[in-house]
Amino acid sequence: MEQPSADTMIAIEGLAKRFVLHHQGGAEIPVLAGLDLTVRAGECVALVGPSGVGKSTILRCLYGNYLASAGHLWLRHDGRMVDLAALEPQAVLALRRQTIGYVSQFLRVVPRVPALDIVAEPLIADGLDEAAARRRAADLLSRLRIPPALWPLAPATFSGGEQQRVNIARGFAVAQPILLLDEPTAALDDGNRRTVVAMIGERKQAGTAIVGIFHDEAVRDQVADRLFDIAAARQAA
Amino acid sequence: MTGADYNFAYLDEQTKRMIRRAILKAVAIPGYQVPFAAREMPLPYGWGTGGIQVTAAVIGPDDVLKVIDQGADDTTNAVSIRRFFRRMAGVATTEHTAEATIIQTRHRIPETPLAAGQILVYQVPIPEPLRWLEPRDTETRRMHALRDYGAMQVNLYEDIARHGAIAKSYDYPVLVNGHYIMSPSPIPKFDNPKMDRSPALQLFGAGRERRIYAVPPHTPVRSLDFDDYPFTVQRWDECCALCGATDSFLDEMIMDDRGSRLFICSDSDYCRGRQGAGEAAE
Amino acid sequence: MTGSGPILTAEGLGHDFGRRMAFTAVDLALWPGEVLGIVGESGAGKTTLLRGLSAQLTPCRGRVLYGDRQGRQIDLYAQSEAERRLLLRTDWGIVHQNAADGLRMNVSAGGNVGERLMAVGERHYGQIRARAADWLARVDLDVGRLDELPSSFSGGMQQRLQIARTLVTAPRLVFMDEPTGGLDVSVQARLLDLLRRLVGQYGLAAVVVTHDLHVVRLLAHRLMVMKGGLVVESGLTDQVLDDPQHPYTQLLVSSVL
């Protein structure tokens, strides 16, 4: 990669992603090709484009959930740039713990695990003791207006909005320097939407580099410093 | 009938050598069960075929033999084995523990302390102490080799959990020389302490299972237990009705249909000796 | 996931039953605190591989290294059997699919949990019993059933008892073969929850063999997919399940209801 500036947190170079469906005649579905994107500390980049253009795919590649077919995914980890696309799974896990936070579109609920524990889990994995992790988790859930009566319950029975807020609390629990947001406000009412916007603003202030998908244009305008149009980028490439 | 047509002590010399080799190995590895090619003997399995082969392999013309069954010299099994060796080896026999050079026993150790130079031969029905928890022989042998004895201790744990104490009262497992767990044969646990560092040589023969094992003189023999549930032996409130002994293993006798009971020494020689001493003193 | 190196390493591991290959060319490294899932259909060689990794079967090819508490890398099958067995009683634990294979069914729950303590020389009945009771509670079993036989327990309870029996000596590495196999779905969920909690709480490293993708999704950090004795794909669990590369993995993932 070229010498990155000191505040570069993410540098995607020539990212390609295609899916090969072996059981459908080896059909190849190209989603991304030759994609470049740089995100600096404290910057929020909103991915835009019609549905199916590959917005979520970019986030998933950045999280190591999808394998890049080609290209580099440079992320600043422990003070230096590492290429996620070339890392061993073991190292990707360390990256996720310390460097990349991810709020997915839907909460993947673990059966029987209480909401409070779901939020506290990444904090404990990050090395916080259990009591402190639970306090921090409780703060986040309070701020996102999850009533304390729900904390000891497993979120499987929660409403969509409640599940999404538990998911946001979990994603924001550890303040990793890179944050990926996939439609974080989709199922939320106005009050909670404002809270999430405020939380995103605080993280930007703290220097977090954010890449997100926001269908809600009002939210997008409030948090995004820059739009990245995938369709346009593809034509340019 | 005389023993003239038979080899000395019934077994042929090759067989005796084979058994002696097994005994030597057993003595060299205290508590380890040595397989041997047990022969057919002129008595049924369970009547002491293992013990009788061990005795036949170690007995010489100058030996004095004592045979006891449950401590008594005068029960059928003891009488017939004693007569067998009188005929087949022409050896002297005795009922006095102190006079015997070889004592073959079923289910007891004599009360009179054994001395250096004496050999105690045990008849053993089931030599494998781990048999109840592991039916496979290959596996029990491996457990012994690796001293994988947790399961044995579990047996005792279960007793305490169920009965509040270790209920096993005979064939109580022992650890020999800090290595092998060994079945002492179905002697009462009362006799277990007598095995520890005994000056006599203790040989064990299992005919049906074809195993010989040994405790050489002065070998430590420890009965398994827990720190907070130490090994104890049976005690009686009564004393022997015949000799008044308070330190011997007592058999309970039902005297009549009304349930009158009497306790007498299981070791008949010991009891007679005490009675004789008592009369002499009077 | 600390420590000076992997807790378990396999290099070129392979085994044949006569002329039939069970598994071959398996390389893996497991780190302290990490859970590795092995999935594949029946006959893929998963269970045989697990046995080969866990000193239950000597593989024909390759070697297995264990990184012990002192940071040494020990060649498992160059050890004497006595040393391997000691490892199995102390640092390692095995959870069998059938609780009956991992439990003594004619021994009380307390005796089952206490056995491993007694096997490493614990000789105080009161302490053994107290620790057994403590572990029954940790796996959500009623302490009042300490003296009952496992045969009076339900399948899920037996499995939890087996886990307590395995973890009582604080092993660092646990091998599990279909730990939730044969249990009702609701019982499975509860058991998985327990395993997740225990693995996290005690920083256990684990190898989990299963054909159930839900189990690995919840339990395993990393995943190995086996077919016909070969590892066809491996990677982070969520990556392998969400973006499977190999035709067989795609079939496996798409077959989940």
Interface of C with A in 58-77 (CB under 8 A): none
End-to-end CA distance of chain A: 18
Contact between C125 and B154 using a beta-carbon 8 Å cutoff = no
**Contact check, Cβ <8 Å, B148/C107:** no
Chain C: residue whose CA lies nearest to B164: C125
Q: What is the pLDDT of residue B1?
A: 47
Which of C123, C131, C136 would you mutate first to test chain B, the one with the most B CBs within 10 A? Answer: C123
Residues from chain C that touch A124, judged by Cβ atoms under 8 A, are 200
DSSP string, C127-186: HHHHHHHHHHHHTT--GGGTTS-GGGS-HHHHHHHHHHHHHTT--SEEEEESTTTTS-HH
Q: Is B50 considered catalytic here?
A: no
C-facing residues of A in 13-52 (CB < 8 A) are 19-23
Look up residue B181 and give its two tokens: 């767990």
Interface test with A, best of C180, C239, C256 (most A CBs within 10 A): C239
Asked if A112 has any chain C CB less than 8 Å from its own CB, the reply is yes
Element (H, E) at A57: helix A55-63
| CB proximity C149 to B under 8 Å | no
Chain C residue with Cα closest to A117: C197
The tens place of each residue's pLDDT in chain A, 237 residues long, gives 556 788 999 999 999 999 999 988 889 999 999 999 999 999 999 999 998 889 999 999 999 999 999 999 999 999 899 999 999 998 999 999 999 999 988 877 677 789 999 999 899 888 899 999 999 999 999 999 999 999 999 898 899 899 999 999 999 999 999 999 999 988 899 999 999 999 999 999 999 999 999 999 999 999 999 999 988 877 665
Residue C124: which of B142, B147, B228 has the nearest Cβ? B228
- B1-40 residues touching C, CB cutoff 8 A: none
Work out the angle at residue A21's Cα, subtended by the Cα atoms of residues A51 and A11, and round it to the nearest 5 degrees: 55
- Which candidate, A46, A53, A58, places its Cα nearest to that of A220? A46
Q: Would you say residue C105 has pLDDT above 60? A: yes
Catalytic residue check, B239? no
d(CA B201, CA B217) in angstroms, rounded, equals 5
Distances from the Cα of A149 to the Cαs of A137, A156, A166, A167, in angstroms? 14, 15, 14, 17
Does C2 score more than 50 pLDDT?
no
3-state secondary structure of B68: strand
How is residue A5 annotated by DSSP? -
Residues of C in contact with B227 (CB under 8 A): 123-125
Hey, how many other C-beta atoms are within 10 angstroms of the C-beta on B47? 17
pLDDT in tens, C211-231: 889 899 989 999 999 999 999
Residues in chain A, overall count: 237
Check: CB of residue B23 under 8 Å from CB of residue B212: yes
Please provide the average confidence, as pLDDT, over all residues in chain C: 92
- The C-alpha angle with vertex C233 and arms to C227 and C239, in degrees rounded to 5, equals 130
Q: What pLDDT digit, counting tens, does each position of C106-118 carry?
A: 999 999 999 999 9
For C76, which DSSP code?
G
Tell me which residue of B163, B166, B196, B198 sits closest to B182, measured CA to CA: B196
Distances (CA, A) of C224 to C28, C250, C252: 9, 13, 13
- Pick the closest to residue C159 from C183, C193, C186, C133 (CA basis): C183
Asked if B243 is an active-site residue, the reply is yes
Q: Does C83 touch chain B (CB under 8 A)?
A: no
Chain B hits for C112, Cβ within 8 Å: 154
Amino acid identity, residue A183?
E
Q: Which of C102, C28, C38 is nearest to C66 (CA)?
A: C28
CB C209 within 8 A of CB C50: yes
At B69-117, the pLDDT tens digits run: 999 999 999 999 999 999 999 999 999 999 999 999 999 999 999 999 9
Q: What's the one-letter identity of residue B155? A: N
Contacts of A64 in chain C (CB under 8 A): 236, 239
Give dist(CA B15, CA B49) in Å, integer: 14
- The Cβ-side half-sphere exposure at C75, using a 13 Å CA radius, reads 7
Query: If residue A160 lies in a helix (H) or strand (E), which one and from where to where?
Result: helix A160-173
Q: Determine which one of B46, B240, B244, B273 is catalytic.
A: B240
The three-point CA angle A66-A71-A75 to 5° equals: 75
Measuring CA to CA, how many Å separate A212 from each of A58, A171, A200, A223, A228? 10, 13, 10, 10, 10
* Average pLDDT, rounded, for chain B: 94
Q: Are the C-beta atoms of residues B66 and B93 closer than 8 Å to each other?
A: yes
Q: Which residues are within 8 A (CB) of C148 and not within 5 positions of it... i.e. 6 or more apart? A: C108, C109
CB-CB under 8 Å, C82 with B150: no
Over residues C191-199, the mean pLDDT reads: 85
Residue C200 to residue A124, Cβ atoms within 8 A: yes
Say what the pLDDT of residue C41 is: 85
Q: pLDDT exceeding 70 applies to what percent of chain A?
A: 97
Q: End-to-end alpha-carbon separation of chain B, Å?
A: 45
Establish whether B31 is a catalytic residue.
yes
- Give pLDDT, residue A222: 94
What does the DSSP 8-state code read for residue B229? Answer: B
Give the orientation angle of helix C155-167 with respect to helix C109-119, to 10 degrees: 20
Inspect the interface and report whether the beta carbons of C123 and B226 lie closer than 8 Å.
Answer: yes
